Structure 1
Amino acid sequence: MKQISTILFSTVFFPLLQPVWDKEPFNISNISKPDAPFFLEDAGIKEQGAYFRQLPDPRIKSRIALSLLKTNNEKAVEILENMLRDEKNDNVISDLFICMYRLRDKAKITYSERIKKYMEHQDQLIRGYAAALYFIKTSDAATILTMLEKENSLFVQELLWNELASKPKSCNQEDLKKFLQSKDSIRRAGAVRVLALASKEPDSVPKLKKAAEDELPVRIALAKALKEMPDAGNELIAKLAEDKSSIVRALVASCAVSDKRLKTLVKLSGDKDWEVRRAACETLGGSKSPEAISALLARMNDNYEPVRTAAEDALVKINPGEDTIKKLTEFVKSDAHRDAAIRVLGMLGAKNSALDILNVLNGKAEDETVRRAVEALGRLECKSAADAIASKSSSKNPAVRKAVAFTIGRLGVASTFKTLELLTKDKDASVVLEAINAMGLIADKSFNKRLNEIVKDVKPSTSSDMRAYACWAVSRINAPTDGMMEEMKKLFLKKIIPMEGEKTYDADYARAAAIMALVEMGGKKNEPSMKAAKSAISFFHENPFKTKDEDSITLKEYMRQIQAVMNGTEIKPELVPTVKPELVTGKVQ
């Protein structure tokens, strides 16, 4: 990649293959190349600026300004500022300010006084963004507050109050309190939020106590501020927890948990509004207190699934002691609590609950209960349940069949291997992939025949994912026949996928999986596999029939890393090369 001296706003790296391979098979998601970032060098940005100044058409000028958003270069902000000079068209000026504001986190403006003159512009977008950029550069809160005293645009007010909230200490508290006398609830709301954030202890500010009884926008603003303050405002939080608006209560329920807030959050976990309950359960996951655990247990039979899920996740996060495990095990016998309890017990690894969960599986149960029971028994390593679990592979629900494959892979009981092979032929793709993955986890030689069939199969009913997963499973087993190694070489090197009367290569990640499998097995003292890998890689580079651009940049990067694995050398992350953004060009008439 060409060296770039300019500091980019953002850089992107190719994913590292080895850490992924150590945990799971390659697929289209876990090793796909991120989108290449745009980049335009300083000279190109300057050319756009010069072209801008020659143009009479405001529409093209706006297009040039917007194109600079994709340059990924701090020089763009400087040029956007320069474009403002002598520009008369309000639409163009507005677009210039929009672009500079969108780049505010990347580079600050240089000429604050030049920007300041636009703060009185009649266009709300221009004066709003100008004021925001001016404040970001100078932290001159007094000037912004003076402007807000007369500002009537809701857009400008909300924009500037948000900016002030990002630097609350820059504001004079007495100046903020003046806004609390305003008849406009938006002004009061903005001031309340900034005042609260600027206070060490909001509970000690009388004006904020009054704000807790103000109109809804003000109460929402106060709740938002308190949400950002984990160790303060506990009295105000308790008061807002009684608010008649569920929006306010939900914000309070999302405030970080502490000993002083615990009682409030426990109460909110039983709120009449399900979103408030969900938020409170999620927050209570940060406390290991008996009160929090009791509140979460009480929500495991909630009428709304998002609340139950939040309670389950929170309990797993807390990882409670044996007393709670016993209660959860008792819940397995309760129709109302059963599903939630089974999932939590499985996630917690509560092996003493396995028999109770197995009893549920052997009884009459809904598909969701069966799915949860099957997965839990796998996590609990309950090998005695293997045959009962395998019997559920006949379920009409693919989620259940997928769970069966998942659990067979974790139990590794030989009597279930035939079931696993059948699941690799399932009509549901997710079930098939889970079954192939399970074969890799078990790593039994008896799976080789079926895995070889999958690697060879290129019918439309199959997928690149299946072949990539199969290669990973073969490498885990590490006992390939000569025929299997030849099939993986073929998958890596040849055009084997039928497409519109011709043949094409398999997906890059599937090809990478094939050669990675050979290299990995070779690294485990499998000499025939290493020999096959070396000959395949040699032919890959020397293939006389391959065109210059036949290999994608992604595959070339995969090969760089795989060869490093083969040679035992360090693999350093590689930047994804940048691409030049589409620019506005032409001749000025």
Structure 2
Amino acid sequence: MGEKAATNEVIDRLVGTLDDENSRVRRRAWDVLGNMGEKAATSEVINRLVGALGAKDSYVRSRACNALVQMGEKAATSEVINRLVSALGDENPDVRSKACDALGKMGKTSATSEVINRLVSALGDEDFNVRRRACDALGKMGEKAATGEVINRLMSTLDDEDSWIRRRACDVLGNMGEKAATSEVINRLVSTLDDEDSWVRRRACDVLGNMGEKAATSEVINRLVSALDGKDSHVRSSVCDALVQMGEKAATSEVINRLVCTLGDEDPDIRRRACEALGTS
């Protein structure tokens, strides 16, 4: 029934059902309130969610976090944010990951120094899913999360054993804009061009490209040129795009010669991108 059922009367009745003697009924009531999203984000529901974050049942704690994810900024009161920060230390990894999700969904509203510091700590969580969600949450906070400590921790995260997390760390650094475009970050991204995972290499190329002329050092350009010899066509394509974004600073004779050779690439998309790169050189 979806949104059609999200009337005040239905919401009030579901809130009453949160006290049902049967745990399965209580769980389903949390699920439904969560799925109703912002429509169910009344002060009474939010207060009940805050209380549920301290429930003995880890499933209820998890579903309460999930409901707050669906409600987003409408539920972003200081009390809720503080309670979610506490949930980052929950014994259950699913609760911790959902707490990261909820804080991320609240975006810049929740981006206090305390929240950011706790999310940075969560990047070292033993559970890979928590690390993933913490990375995503920091990414959604954008430049507000671009402190020196966060940037340093993200650079360390580029060595995470999980390739998905390494990929997201690249994305988050890219989303932080000029604050993250330091020589140290650029050098770290250059090293990431050797990552065993092609998606991580692609993301590193994309971020270096988005940094434009700031990243257009001779070392970066040389490494990008070398990456044009890689086996993965998507990486080669991302390299061409990065060179386009670096503009005239990348227009060395070596780069131009290499792009001319790339016009013979087996992949038509790469040949097209090489043309574009030559057009901006």
| Equivalent in the alignment of 1:372 | 238
Against the structure 1 CA distance between its residues 136 and 294, is the aligned structure 2 distance closer, same or farther, given a 3 Å change threshold? same
Question: 304, 313, 336: which is aligned to 2:171?
Answer: 313
CA contact (8 A) 1:288 1:320 kept: no
* Aligned counterpart, 1:409: 276
**Aligned match for 2:133, one of 269, 279, 286:** 279
1:389 corresponds in structure 2 to 259
Q: What amino acid is aligned across from residue 292 of structure 1 in structure 2?
A: V
For structure 1, the residue ranges without an aligned partner over 5 or more in a row are: 1-100, 106-132, 172-193, 415-589
Question: What RMSD over aligned residues (CA atoms) do the two structures have, in Å?
Answer: 3.7
* Equivalences for residues 427-576 of structure 1 within 5 A: none
2:154 pairs with 296, 299, 324, which one? 296
Q: Which of residues 55, 58, 64 is equivalent to 1:216?
A: 58
The Cα of 1:332 is off from its aligned counterpart by: 5.0
Tell me by how many angstroms 1:309 deviates.
2.6
Structure 1 position 136 matched with structure 2 position 31: no
1:258 aligns with 2:111: yes
The number of residue pairs the alignment matches comes to 249
Say if 1:354 and 1:380, in contact at 8 Å, map to a contact too. no
| Alignment CA distance shift 1:320-1:301 (3 Å) | farther
Q: Which stretch shows the higher mean deviation, 265-274 or 236-245?
A: 236-245
Partners in 2 of 1:258 and 1:336 — Cα distance? 31
Taking a change above 3 Å as real, the CA distance of residues 379 and 311 of structure 1, as seen in their structure-2 partners, is same
Going from structure 1 to structure 2, the CA distance change for 1:333 and 1:162 (only over 3 Å counts) comes to closer
Partner amino acid, structure 2, of 1:245: N
Instruction: Give the structure with the higher percent helix.
Output: 2
Higher RCO (C-alpha under 8 Å, 6+ residues apart): 1
Contact 2:181 2:211 in 1 (8 A): no
Q: In 2, Cα distance between the equivalents of 1:314 and 1:218?
A: 30
Q: Name the counterpart of 2:47.
A: 198
Could you tell me which residue of structure 2 aligns to residue 469 of structure 1?
Answer: none
Aligned-pair identity in percent equals 19
Please give the TM-score of this superposition, normalised by the length of structure 1. 0.36
**Distance in 2 of aligned mates of 1:358 and 1:158:** 55
Q: Distance in 1 between matches of 2:276 and 2:62?
A: 50
Q: Compared with structure 1, are the counterparts of its residues 216 and 168 closer, same or farther at alpha carbon in structure 2 (3 Å cutoff)? A: same
In the aligned structure 1, how far is the partner of 2:93 from the partner of 2:17?
33
C-alpha contact (below 8 Å) 1:347/1:379 kept by paired residues: yes
8 Å CA contact 2:243–2:277 kept in 1: the answer is no
Which amino acid letter does the alignment assign opposite residue 133 of structure 2?
A: A
Q: Distance in 1 between matches of 2:15 and 2:170?
A: 46
Distance, in Å, in 2 between the alignment partners of 1:351 and 1:324 is 7
Deviation at 1:266, TM superposition (A): 0.6
2:187 corresponds to: 330
- CA deviations over 1:213-262 (Å, ceiling 9, x no partner): x2221220332355443343344333322334332221122213412201
Q: Using a 3 Å threshold, how does the CA distance of structure 1 residues 252 and 304 change in structure 2: closer, same or farther?
A: same
Look up the match of 1:245.
Answer: 92
**Superposed displacement of residue 149, structure 1:** 5.6
C-alpha contact (below 8 Å) 1:354/1:377 kept by paired residues: no
TM-score by length of 2: 0.70
CA-to-partner distance for each residue in 1:292-341, whole Å, 9 max, x for gaps? 222222223333332223222222221033x7431133225525767354
Structure index of larger Rg: 1
Taking the aligned partners of 2:206 and 2:7, their CA distance within structure 1 comes to 48
- Aligned position for 2:206: 343
Q: Deviations over 1:120-153 (max 9, x none)?
A: xxxxxxxxxxxxx4x7264672x55666766859
